[in-house]
Amino acid sequence: MDQLRDLRNYIEWLEERKSLIRIREELSPILEIPTFLRKLMYSKGPSVIFEKVKGFDNWRIVGNLFPNLDTISSFLSVDNLEEVGFRMIQPLILPIPYKTFDKIKTLGDLTKMSSYLPKKTNKAAFTENVIEGNDNPLDKIPFFKTWPKDGGRYITFGMVITLENEKTVNMGVYRVMILDGNKGIIHWQIHKRGAHVHLNALENKKDEIPVAISIGSDPGTMLASVSPVPYPIDKALFAGIIRNKGIELYELNNGVLVPANSEIVIEGRVLANQLLEEGPFGDHWGYYDKPIEKYPLLVVDRVYLRDDPIYYGTVVGLPPLEDAVIGKAIEKIFKPIMQTIIPEIVDVNYPVEGVFQGMIIVSIKKRYPGQAKKVMNALWGIGQSSLTKIIIVVDHDIDPNDIGKVIWAISSNVNPENDVLIIKGSHSDALDPSNLFPSFGSKMGIDATRKLPEEREGKVWPEIVSEDENVYRKIEEIFGNYLKKDKNLF
Ligand SMILES: Cc1cc2nc3c(=O)[nH]c(=O)nc-3n(C[C@H](O)[C@H](O)[C@H](O)COP(=O)(O)O)c2cc1C
C-alpha cells in the first residue's frame, strides 16, 4: 500500500492498520463535527471519517489524520522521525574517510537529492469536476465552524500555495475565513512566507497575487506544508525530502503549481490592497483572537473537486489537539538541523501545552560562561523558532521532557537577578494573547544550567550529591529482596 500516494490511499492504509473509525450518524460541519473531533483528540483517539455530512450530500469528511507520532513515523516509513531531518544534512555532516578515499559516499548521497525534486504532470484527478467562481463554489464545500463565537466558517487545513519571486513554490497552512460563495480572507501572519509574498506584491505595485489552496493531499506533503522551512527553500522540494520521493505538481490556469494528488483545489487571487477584518476565531492558544486584525481578500476564480470528494479539516483550541502532535513531529524532524546550527544542543522539548511558539526547553553541553544565553539568542535568531516566547536552558544531564527534573533545575540553579533574560519590545507570535500589540510583545530566557565560576563572581558551583558506590550496591541488593517479598507495599 502506498500510503503516500494521496489522501484516499492514506485513509485505506489507516483503516488497514485499524487506526480509523467510521462515523455513520449524520453530523453537521457547523460545530458538531468540530466538537466530535476535539473530543476524539483529547481522548487520544484514532483518525476518523464522517460518512454523512449534514447539508452536503456525496461528501465525506476526514479528521485527526495526524493522531500520534507512531502513525506519522509509520506513514513516512522511518523508525525515528529524526531520520527525516538527517536526510537533509547527512551528506554534509558525515565525516569524510580520507584514508579510504574509495569509500567516500558523502557526495554520492548528495545526488540522492535529485530524487526529491518535484515533477510536473498534466494529469490530476481533481480536474474531474470544475465549479466556476460565479457559481459560488465555496458554498458547496463543508467547511467547519469550529467554535460558537467564530466569525464564520473556516478552511482549517488548507495548503495556501504561492509562487515566491515567480519561481519558488511556497505552501503554508494558513486558515481562511469564508466570506461568501467565492470570497475569503487569508490569515497569513506577518512572519510567514505567504505574508512576504504579499509584501513583495505591495512593494512592486502588483494588485493581485495568484494563489491556490489545496485541501487533502498525502500526509507527507501536508506535513511539509506546516513545517517551518525558511525562504528560499522550495516547499515542494521539502515535501519530496520528507516523503523520500518527489511530489507531482499540476499547473493551474493562474500559473500556480499545486500537488497533483489534491482532493480539492481552490484557484484564485489575493487582492493585495484589500484588507478586511478577519475573525473572531478560537485559535490554538485556546482564546478567541483579540484584537481582530486585517488580512487580505481572496477572490475565488474556480474550484476543482475529485468525484465523491473528501474534505479534511482540523480543529484548534485549548492544547493539546492534533496540531500538538504535528508540532511534536516537527520538533523531532528539525532536531538534527537545529543541532547542526547550534551544536551544543543535546535535546529539545516543545511542551505541547506551550503551543509550539510559547515555550522551548533545551538541554546543552555547556563548555563556557554565558553559553546558555548564546543558545537562547541563537534560537531567537533563526526562522520560526525566533517566535518562541520563553526559552528554558538546562544542562545536558537533564532530560527536557522530564518536567519534574526541569522544575528542579529551574528551582535550584536559577538566581533570578542574573539568570533570567528579559527582552522587551520584541517580535512575537501573531496570536499570543499576552502581546502588547499584534505580533509585538516580549521574551524571557531562563538559564537553568549550573553556573561556572565566571558566571557567579568566581564562586565554585556546589557538588551534586551522589551515593557511595559500595554502600549503594549492598543496599540495593537488600532493598531488592524486600521489594520481591512485599511487592504490594511499594
Ligand atoms: C492547524 C494549523 C493552522 C495554522 N494556521 C495558521 C494561520 O492561520 N496563519 C499562519 O500564519 N500560520 C498558521 N499555521 C502555522 C503555519 O502553517 C506554519 O507556521 C508554517 O510553517 C508556515 O509556513 P511558511 O513558513 O511557509 O509560511 C497553522 C498551523 C497549523 C498546524
Q: What is the CATH number of the domain that holds 28?
A: 2.30.110.10
pLDDT of residue 372: 98
Q: Which residues are catalytic?
A: 283
Identify whether 424 is part of a domain. Answer: yes
Strand stretches in 380-480, DSSP E: 390-395, 420-427, 440-447
Dihedral (Cα; 384, 385, 388, 390), 10-degree rounding: 180
Q: How many CA atoms lie within 13 A of 428 on its CB side?
A: 22
CATH of residue 428's domain is: 3.40.1670.10
Atom number, ligand 1, closest to the C-alpha of residue 176: 8
Shared domain check, 300 and 220 = yes
Classify residue 227: in a domain, yes or no: yes
Q: Which three cell numbers stand for residue 258?
A: 499545486
Note whether 347 and 364 are within 8 A (CB): no
Q: Which of 39, 49, 43 is nearest to 19 (CA)?
A: 49
The reply to whether 193 and 252 lie within a common domain is: yes
Q: Say what the pLDDT of residue 106 is.
A: 58
Q: At a CB cut-off of 8 Å and minimum separation 6, what does 315 contact?
A: 34, 37, 38, 41, 63, 144, 146, 156, 321, 322
Cell reading at 99:
584514508
Question: Does some domain include residue 471?
Answer: no
Q: Which three cell numbers stand for residue 60?
A: 465525506
Q: Specify whether 373 is located in the same domain as 449.
A: yes
Question: Residue 415 carries which DSSP code?
Answer: -
Paired with 53 in beta bridges are 27
Atom 13 of ligand 1: nearest residue by CA position: 174
Residues 243 and 282 in one domain: yes
| Cβ contact 319:352 at 8 Å | yes
- pTM of full prediction above 0.85: yes
pLDDT of residue 104: 59
- Residue 453 confidence (pLDDT): 97
Q: Provide DSSP, 239-265.
A: HHHHHTSPPEEEE-TTS-EEETT-SEE
Same domain, 254 and 194: yes
Q: How many CA atoms lie within 13 A of 347 on its CB side?
A: 12
Would you state the pLDDT for residue 107?
A: 60
Ligand 1 atom nearest to 230, measured from its CA:
25
Ligand 1 centre distance from Cα of residue 417 (Å)? 36
Measure 62 CA to ligand 1 centroid, in angstroms. Answer: 20
The verdict on 421 and 280 lying in the same domain is no
DSSP readout, 316-376?
-SSSSSHHHHHHHHHHHHHHHHHHHHSTTEEEEE--GGGTTTTEEEEEE---STTHHHHHH
What's the total number of domains in the chain?
2
Instruction: Give the pLDDT confidence score for residue 101 in this predicted structure.
Output: 66
308 with 355, same domain: the answer is no
What domain range is 435 assigned to? 342-455
The Cα–Cα gap between 35 and 121 comes to 39
CB of 371 closer than 8 Å to CB of 364: yes
Q: Are residues 264 and 352 in the same domain?
A: no
Which residues does the chain have with pLDDT short of 50?
none
Q: How much distance in Å is there from the Cα of 136 to the middle of ligand 1?
A: 26
Who contacts 209 (Cβ-Cβ below 8 Å, separation ≥6)?
162, 197, 198, 201, 269, 270, 272
Task: Determine, yes or no, domain membership for 143.
Answer: yes
Residues 176, 274 within the same domain: yes
Residues with CB under 6 A from ligand 1: 156-157, 170, 172-175, 187-189, 192-194, 226-229, 235, 314, 316, 323, 326, 384
Same domain membership, residue 362 and residue 304: no
Contacts of 475 (CB under 8 A, 6+ apart): none
Which residue's CA lies nearest to atom 6 of ligand 1?
A: 174
Residue 272 lies in a domain: yes
- Could you tell me if 300 and 357 lie in one domain? no
Residues 299 and 350 in one domain: no
Question: How far apart are the C-alpha atoms of 321 and 256, rounded to whole Å?
Answer: 31
Residue 289 placed within a domain: yes
Q: Answer yes or no: is 60 within a domain.
A: yes
- What is the grid cell recorded at 183? 470570497
423: helix, strand or coil? strand
- d(Cα 340, Cα 392) in Å, to the nearest integer? 20
In a domain, 467, yes or no: no
